[in-house]
Structure 1
Amino acid sequence: MGLFKKKKYFTITINENKTEEKNISENIPNIPSGMWIKCTSCSKILYKKEVEDNNKICTNCGAYFRLSAKERISSIVDEGTFEEFNENMTAKNPLNYPGYMDKIAENQEKSGIRDAVVTGLGKINGRNAVIAVMDSNFMMGSMGSVVGEKITQAIEIATSRKESIIIFTCSGGARMQEGIISLMQMAKTSAALKRHSEAGLLYITVLTDPTTGGVTASFAMLGDIILAEPKALVGFAGRRVIEQTIKQQLPEEFQKSEFLLEHGFIDRIVKREEMKSVLSDLLMLHGY
């Protein structure tokens, strides 16, 4: 009967006298860390400096790496013209969520910003625009009270100054640590945009990878003109959740910007290297 009993553990014998294995690191040159990055699309190892010089686009397959808020602003706004709003606004812990403030501090140190969006006024080829740029490096661009407040104030400043506003979205959705308070930001930002629209002013959204959840369900899809980067993931719920709900298999490119363009959800897909000139042309055509 002992043959049918499952052993609780196994003993593994290690040959301590084995000398054939060598330390692999002895055969690798001393290369400083951070010089190489791997493309998640084609899996090719790339020289980081070449990718950065190429607008953070893979030099092998053309896939897009995500930009930080500061990198995005640098690529869009004329040098030396950006004036940031509410730079030091930071989150509280309204629900006393355990470990939330430690998480905030950790992400502030990692990303170099106070929360998941940077807002301000700048010039794009000489034309004024209020700009808000979300950053996936800060808690995956999740929308909490600070993100909602900074975007709302940016919209209100644009309305009072009679300026256009451009919002670059990149978010995993509402911030769970703030519960219902994070969901309230959807209504608050949308109301501010309604007042901006009633004043006859232009609002442009640029959807970047990924734009999901409550951000998609509010200000991301309310633009007068909606642009997107190539292959950006845009949606509300995830593919698996939708498939389980409707009991149907979704198309392969479902929730990609190309699929949304084909079905009329967005107006145009714009390559990263063309984004500044396209935004500048839109501002000119609308009288800014």
Structure 2
Amino acid sequence: MFKFSTFAFALSCVGLIRAAVIDGLATRTSSSSDTCACTTGPLNIAGVSCGTFHQSDNFCFCMSELDSLIQNSNNPIIQFARFFDVDLIKGALTQMVHNAESRSDCDRPDFSAPSCSRDNVCGYKCHDGYKDCGDTCARACSTARLGRKRRSVPTEAKPDYWGARVQRTCEQGWQACGVPGADRRAWECVDVQRDLESCGGCASGISSSLTGQSTGVDCTTIPHVSDVSCISGGCVVHRCLPGYITSPSGDACLSRDFVDRTPLSIVGEKIFDIAAAALSL
């Protein structure tokens, strides 16, 4: 009888600890403070692998939306995970968030919901009719409350004036770039060392937005690419579509058939060169 009571007490303690952990996460992930990340790697639950998240999956979420993610996500890995207990799924996903390199503690304004992505882990969207005014959500944005990330400059200003003015507002290492499809005076500060669509420079620069010339590279437009990153201002291909392999330089995808034929063609050219040289003697 004593042994059974001890065992029952131990089980109740485990249940209380699990509940305390989950309650603690719920407390930490209020509407104003949250922990967010983009996760990669296998999702293991109770020793079973539910699948592997790759960088190209862009699987990003915040702890505050964990319940909704488990219930509503169309991701096949999450759908498979639903065969397990909800608490086990939460524990596995929580562990992935805390181990992720992109993990960030995010503060969001009132009247907003998380919008986590690889480009902006702490991103958010205003709701209930409120507008994004830079660092707050309001019914209307006054001039004094405009976001520091995006502004407009006088219409009569020359392009070189635009570039000099907006560049001073960017963080160190970032570059002022024109906003494609927006007013030619609109701009945004871009981390051209890591931005996937403006890698190494602006995809549409302030001074070049009028001419349509591009100084950067949109890594997502590399033909036949499946998984790519912008690292130190250069596109780095991680995976290619079936039938293609990463080039030796790591910035393109080459046809597997072409690569298989290349050594023979090189040998043929060398033989031709040697024969031509011999005939000229």
TM-score, normalisation: structure 2:
0.24
In proportion to residue count, which structure has more strand? 2
The structure with the larger Rg is 2
TM-score, normalisation: structure 1:
0.24
* Higher relative contact order (CA closer than 8 Å, sequence separation 6+): 1
